[in-house]
Amino acid sequence: MKVKIQQRSVYHKFAQIEIEIPNHIDDVEKHILDRFDLSEEKWVDELDHKLNCSEFIKGNGVDEYLGMNEKDSEDEYRYQCDKLNIGGHL
């Protein structure tokens, strides 16, 4: 008789970049989302590259980073602007 021994381990990656936005922007989240698909905006590619180069970390990463707390999501995006003391999920 054979018995299978199994293990499921959860790992995650985390990446963070900084982008410049004009000082006069009132709605930071809208500004970021409006430019998500524009070809001149390279932050999406830059973030993907940085994530691909990052190391795997054991665990799911939920609640390990400021505001990263979506327990039922496989991916989580958020922004943080310390100057305006705002942040949120994208």
- Which sequence spans correspond to the domains of the chain? 11-18+25-89
Q: Is the distance from CB of 73 to CB of 62 less than 8 angstroms?
A: no
> Residues in the chain with pLDDT < 50?
none
Please state whether beta strands 86-89 and 78-81 pair in parallel, antiparallel, or not at all (unpaired): antiparallel
pLDDT for res 90 = 86
Return the closest-CA partner of residue 77 out of 23, 29, 19. Answer: 29
Model pTM score: 0.76
Q: What is the rounded distance in angstroms from the CA atom of residue 74 to the CA atom of residue 62? A: 10
CA distances from 24 to 15, 27, 38, 43 (A): 27, 9, 20, 20
Q: What is the pLDDT of residue 16?
A: 94
Q: Which residues sit opposite 81 in a β-bridge?
A: 86
pLDDT of residue 57: 96
Question: What pLDDT is stored for residue 45 in this prediction?
Answer: 86
pLDDT number for residue 80: 93
